[in-house]
Amino acid sequence: MSLKHFHIVFLVFAILCDAAFWMWMHFMPEEAANAGAAGLKNYAGLLCLGLIAYGVWYLVKKMRTIIV
């Protein structure tokens, strides 16, 4: 597996993990508050959107300029 394919796979897993973390805090706020993670909900959502935007940018713009 090349480095660019590993980058895409790692990015997909990062988005999935961050989205799962946000969903846990959104749908189970009591457990998130007990764990001390309730304040991270907004940051997790913004990070997920940022990772998605970076993934789209990487696939559309950056992959065209990388030598195979």
Q: What is the pLDDT of residues 39-52, one digit of tens each?
A: 899 999 999 999 99
Q: Which tokens hold the place of 11?
A: 């990015």
- What is the span of the domain harbouring residue 21? 3-65
d(CA 47, CA 22): 10
Q: Which tokens hold the place of 5?
A: 């394919």
Residue 64 Ramachandran class (φ > 0 left, ψ -120 to 50 alpha, else beta): alpha
Query: 2-47: per-residue pLDDT in tens?
Result: 888 899 999 999 999 999 999 999 999 999 999 999 889 999 999 9
Structural domains counted in the chain: 1
